[in-house]
Amino acid sequence: MMNPFSSLGLGSELVSALTDQGYENPTPIQAAAIPKALAGHDLLAAAQTGTGKTAAFMLPSLERLKRYATSSTSPAMHPVRMLVLTSTRELADQIDQNVQAYIKNLPLRHTVLFGGVNMDKQTADLRAGCEIVVATVGRLLDHVKQKNINLNKVEIVVLDEADRMLDMGFIDDIRKIMQILPKQRQTLLFSATFSPPIRKLAQDFMHTPEMVEVAAQNTTNANVEQHIIAVDALKKRNLLERLIVDLHMNQVIVFCKTKQSVDQVTRDLVRRNIAAQSIHGDKSQQSRLETLNAFKEGTLRVLVATDVAARGLDIAELPFVINYELPTQPEDYVHRIGRTGRAGADGVAISLMDKTEQKM
């Protein structure tokens, strides 16, 4: 029987890398997007994190770029051919790790650019040459200004989480980047929603894009069991500890609304001898990456996070998410509980609701 990814038009180098990753069947967004992108069309795709969207844009692009694969060490043989723009450092890092896994059988080079860390290593990588660059918008523009990167040979550009990037105020920067890219190129835009500004962006920078839409917008994943517990605000701490211990949660993300409560909840858990660490916007990039790695490796039991810090977090088989405080935005709720139940696995999301949170 033919491998389902081969049937979509992907070559053996990618298919065997996917088999090594344990991917057996394409997700709906992959099945819909891969053939269209392989044919060279621009794509407007509606997909949230957790649907397999990264592979949906990376796999056809890598297939199209594989004719450039070369083991030559000359930087001139490795110009930037593909640019992936995304919203946060964590997501950029995540996409880059996926790229690394997918290209294991292809001599193509990749690198990731994000802010908050020194530019030297990134600059050295760019000078050495690499076909695939995953970047956050601000840091990419820094490299453009310093002439560390040449975008003249870009053939494929991806705008990942386009709605998020616009929410974060990157519209002018995105336009700036799009303007310096070659006109002759393929543009793939992925977004959870298609607001008027996204449509305008598509109109201005895309050529008769094909639409790809799979899941309904802003809906939660059916694999995630959702519970809500009404509780006194003062009793949340005890309840949190009881849930973690009694339900034998060995890996759980606890979401809070503010940095202050993140710190407080973390201190409280540690005092109760539960291994917990926090990530939020005030932490250094280095400290965030270390905490995330400890959590991914399973040496850290509880990760306490704000919504922004947890954007793009991708942990395979994370069984539990707890909303210690409810988010004000429905999209944030969807995003939070989407950290569990990834790629068809089961997950449990528990929300602790006090009186003041009922209307949310």
Q: Does 341 bind ligand AMP (CB under 6 A)?
A: no
d(CA 61, CA 63): 5
Stretch that binds ligand AMP, among 18-26, 70-78, 140-148, 225-233 (CB under 6 A): 18-26
Stretch that binds ligand AMP, among 26-34, 192-200, 235-243, 289-297 (CB under 6 A): 26-34
Binding to ligand AMP (CB under 6 A) within 301-340 occurs at: 314, 316
Q: Does 57 bind ligand AMP (CB under 6 A)?
A: no
Q: In the stretch 251-290, what mask flags binding to ligand AMP with x, by CB under 6 A?
A: ----------------------------------------
- State which residue, 23 or 255, has the beta carbon closest to ligand AMP: 23
- State which residue, 72 or 218, has the beta carbon closest to ligand AMP: 218
CB 53 within 8 A of CB 126: no
Give the SS3 label for residue 130. Answer: coil
- For residue 317, the minimal CB distance to ligand AMP (Å) is 9
Candidates 221, 342, 347, 350; binder of ligand AMP (CB under 6 A) is 342
Alpha-carbon radius of gyration of the chain? 21
Q: Which has the closest alpha carbon to 198: 45, 42, 56?
A: 45
Candidates 10, 15, 43, 55; binder of ligand AMP (CB under 6 A) is 55
- For residue 217, the minimal CB distance to ligand AMP (Å) is 15
Neighbours of 173 (CB within 10 A): 17
Number of residues that bind ligand AMP (CB under 6 A): 16
Q: Which has the closest alpha carbon to 197: 178, 171, 159, 160?
A: 171
- For residue 95, the minimal CB distance to ligand AMP (Å) is 8
Q: Which has the closest alpha carbon to 27: 41, 45, 44?
A: 45
- State which residue, 102 or 194, has the beta carbon closest to ligand AMP: 102
Angle at 336 between CA 24 and CA 244, to 5 degrees: 95
Sign of CA dihedral 257, 259, 260, 262: positive
Stretch that binds ligand AMP, among 46-54, 80-88, 112-120, 271-279 (CB under 6 A): 46-54
Please report where in the chains the tokens 């298919």 appear, as a residue. Answer: 15
- For residue 274, the minimal CB distance to ligand AMP (Å) is 26
- State which residue, 46 or 126, has the beta carbon closest to ligand AMP: 46
What is the DSSP code (8-state) at residue 358?
T
d(CA 7, CA 16): 13
> What type of residue is 21?
Q
Q: Does 191 bind ligand AMP (CB under 6 A)?
A: no
Candidates 14, 51, 202, 243; binder of ligand AMP (CB under 6 A) is 51
- For residue 329, the minimal CB distance to ligand AMP (Å) is 20
CB 269 within 8 A of CB 220: no
Residues 6 or more apart whose CB falls under 8 angstroms from that of 106 comprise 13, 14, 62, 66, 69
* φ, ψ (nearest 5 deg) of residue 260: -60, -45
Q: Does 26 bind ligand AMP (CB under 6 A)?
A: yes
Residues forming the site for ligand AMP (CB under 6 A): 23, 25-27, 30, 49-55, 314, 316, 342-343
